[in-house]
Structure 1
């Protein structure tokens, strides 16, 4: 199988509030918006983030109201403990993005500060509970061919 992810889909309890957070807090424009069901944002080269109404998401998975499906792996735990990261060009831009996210309904979980990787970052929870890291990482770059380079700046 080719090593690639094309869609990231996140279930959300209040699609309207979450749409506002991503549109107004992050300044993103929807790629496709199906009211009451899902909104898609293109977030990278060939990469789409889908924010799916929780009830519609459960129906799509064949889950009952408790979120536990009826198939053979129904009791398997859902993924947890992840962040989506938004890298910016400066520490000042981290502060600006965090302020916009807060104004659009986000909860700052970690105020902007120096990071162990040599940059500057913060964590903000969106109204859907998704944890965002907003970071300026001078050791992160993307080559013209799309290859990501990661390093720690001393």
Structure 2
């Protein structure tokens, strides 16, 4: 019998065409602290308990996968950052744009009943900043999505 793989991820690694621009945006612009920074290759940020976001220089990313340049493209992905209020959504999106991000969708009421806005980092990684009144994390770290559970 096959053993089941645990339902978890520890790293989200994204191909990044311009690592220096990503570093400037996240560290200088947003004030994030790198967990590990290897210039010209990759920068890691701890973004949650046991979860690391890696921004990997695109050519190194492709070489690591033994792939083609097409394998280094990023598409169809949104990272989401949940905050406590619509005002916090406005502030986070504004800060990201001031730091060099591109406004994708201005903050507004969302179809799911919350409030959200989207921005892209200098390499096109799209972030949603969201206030979702039904979203919470319990003391054990389990995510609850309002009426869904």
Fold conserved between structures, TM > 0.5: yes
- Match for residue 73 of structure 1? none
Gaps of 5+ in 2: none
TM-score, normalization by structure 2: 0.89
TM-score, normalization by structure 1: 0.86
User: For the residues of structure 2 that align with 1:68 and 1:97, how far apart are their CA atoms?
Assistant: 31
- Residue 137 to residue 19, structure 1, CA distance change in 2 (3 Å): same
- Match for residue 54 of structure 1? 58
Gaps of 5+ in 1: 70-77
- Determine whether 1:23 maps to 2:27: yes
Matched positions, count: 143
User: For the residues of structure 2 that align with 1:139 and 1:12, how far apart are their CA atoms?
Assistant: 33
SS in structure 2 of the partner of residue 67 of structure 1:
helix
Taking only aligned residues, the RMSD between alpha carbons, in angstroms, comes to 1.7
SS in structure 2 of the partner of residue 128 of structure 1:
coil
- Determine whether 1:116 maps to 2:111: yes
- Determine whether 1:13 maps to 2:13: no
> Any idea what the Cα deviations from partners look like across 1:56-107, whole Å, max 9, x if unmatched?
111111124x3359xxxxxxxx773120000011111111111111011111
User: For the residues of structure 1 that align with 2:88 and 2:16, how far apart are their CA atoms?
Assistant: 27
SS in structure 1 of the partner of residue 46 of structure 2:
strand
